[in-house]
């Protein structure tokens, strides 16, 4: 249903609304690489070739126009594989990435980025999150204690 709205927005030349809807769909359905391609098309129409390349980066069967946009995206990230992998924000199934056809002559770094994405998905949750949870729980406990002392003092003062 949302895809129909996206198509209607594109027909009505409301590319901004279509772009926003597609961003929502991509976060909801990260395995649908076709949504990324469609979003890349919209960014290209909006004259943002680097952003178009960002969303076309994981597309199959790239046109020369798409390959050029992907190169602009790589250049905008300073050809740094870590930055490119983070900018792609791919949270879908890694097996879908393994089926991509890579043109090593033009997009030689795409394979390296694919490997980087696969590596980042396997990183376990570190102790940093445990410390954050512990800190939040201690703040909540402190608030409860101070509120209880305040209520007790208030009633002791009144009565």
Residue with tokens 């102790």: 127
**What percent of the chain has a predicted confidence (pLDDT) above 90?**
13
Residue pLDDT, tens place only, 52-101: 888 888 887 888 888 888 888 888 888 887 788 778 777 777 777 666 65
φ/ψ (deg, to 5) at 62: -80, 140
List the chain domain ranges.
2-121, 125-159
Q: CA–CA separation, 39 vs 54, rounded Å?
A: 10
Topology, domain 2-121: 1.25.40
Q: CA–CA separation, 116 vs 91, rounded Å?
A: 13
Residue 17 has pLDDT above 90, yes or no: no
Residue 113 has pLDDT above 80, yes or no: no
Average pLDDT for 138-143: 96
pTM: 0.60
């Amino acid at each position: 249903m949302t895809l129909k709205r996206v198509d209607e927005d594109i027909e009505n030349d409301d590319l901004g609304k279509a772009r926003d809807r597609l961003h929502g769909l991509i976060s909801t359905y990260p395995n649908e690489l076709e949504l990324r391609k469609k979003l890349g098309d919209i960014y290209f129409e909006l004259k943002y070739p680097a952003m178009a390349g960002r969303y076309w980066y994981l597309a199959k069967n790239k046109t020369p126009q798409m390959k050029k946009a992907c190169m602009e995206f790589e250049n905008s990230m300073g050809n740094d594989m870590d930055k490119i992998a983070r900018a792609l924000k791919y949270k879908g199934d890694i097996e879908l990435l393994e089926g991509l056809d890579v043109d090593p002559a033009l997009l030689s770094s795409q394979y390296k980025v694919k490997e980087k994405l696969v590596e980042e998905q396997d990183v376990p949750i570190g102790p940093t999150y445990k410390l954050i949870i512990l800190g939040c729980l201690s703040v909540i406990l402190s608030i409860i204690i101070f509120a209880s002392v305040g209520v007790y003092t208030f009633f002791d003062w009144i009565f």
